[in-house]
Amino acid sequence: MSVHPIRESIVQPMPTNDTGPSNDTGGASDHSKKPEPGLIATVSVELLQRLHAHHSSQLTLCDELEEIADSLPDQIDYIRCMRAAKMLDPAVRYAHRFEELELFPLLANSERTSVELQRSLQRLRFEHLEDESFAEELADKLLDIAEGRIVPSGSTEQAELLGYMLRGFFEGLRRHIAFERDHILSRIGTIN
Ligand SMILES: [Fe+2]
């Protein structure tokens, strides 16, 4: 089995709390109706709220995975492992499908698009592929633990491997979302 390296950190730290779609539009909601300098596109409030909802569900997943990593090797919660294993694939894939099929085409075809933005979108698509592959491996590993095929407390090597996989995944995903917030979300205006 391959182990994915932890992605290089290239963006600022994540905000410490996620206020969700109802009251946080990444600073973009004030730029309603009329495009302003610096904005890369204008989209509906509903679309932006859906992006926030996907980010929120992925960050909840990251928190779950961090709890598991922190509980290694002796305090592991098997129910939590099962829950996380089942959350992984849908949380990641639904977010990626939404971004790639609905949001990114709007940005790529906006009259305000730029070479820099196209590069950012390309990079985000590539990270999606990496994360989907990584999520699948991690879900399999967590299922093995939840169903007793692997016992981390009985193997230092297994505990270290799982810890490495967990941290590599949730740290990379948090950085990915931070990048989307800093470089995409904060530069989108909204219309009703
Ligand atoms: Fe993404």
Q: Is residue 29 part of a domain?
A: no
Q: How many domains does the chain have?
A: 1
Query: Are 190 and 126 spatial neighbours (Cβ–Cβ below 8 Å)?
Result: no
CATH number of 135's domain: 1.20.120
CA dihedral (68, 89, 158, 73) in degrees, to 10, reads 10
Query: Are 76 and 153 spatial neighbours (Cβ–Cβ below 8 Å)?
Result: yes
pLDDT digits (tens, 9 = 90+) for 7-51: 543 333 333 333 333 334 443 444 444 556 678 788 889 999 999
* Range of lowest pLDDT (17-21, 74-78, 134-138, 173-177): 17-21
Q: Is residue 184 part of a domain?
A: yes
68 C-alpha to ligand 1 centroid (Å): 23
What is the model's pLDDT at position 153?
84
131 C-alpha to ligand 1 centroid (Å): 9
Segment (H or E) for 49: helix 45-71
183 C-alpha to ligand 1 centroid (Å): 12
pLDDT digits (tens, 9 = 90+) for 87-142: 999 999 999 999 999 999 988 887 777 888 899 999 999 999 999 999 999 999 99
Q: Is residue 61 part of a domain?
A: yes
Query: Are 129 and 192 spatial neighbours (Cβ–Cβ below 8 Å)?
Result: no
180 C-alpha to ligand 1 centroid (Å): 7
Cβ neighbour number for residue 161 with a 10 Å cutoff = 16
Q: 191 pairs with which residues across the strands?
A: 44
176 C-alpha to ligand 1 centroid (Å): 6
62 C-alpha to ligand 1 centroid (Å): 14
- What b-and-e string marks burial along 71-88, b requiring 16 or more CB atoms within 10 Å of the CB? ebbeebeeebbebbbebb
Longest CA pairwise span in the chain (Å): 61
What is the model's pLDDT at position 115?
87
Structural domain including 88 reads 41-191
Q: Is residue 16 part of a domain?
A: no
Q: Is residue 89 part of a domain?
A: yes
* Range of lowest pLDDT (16-20, 143-147, 184-188): 16-20
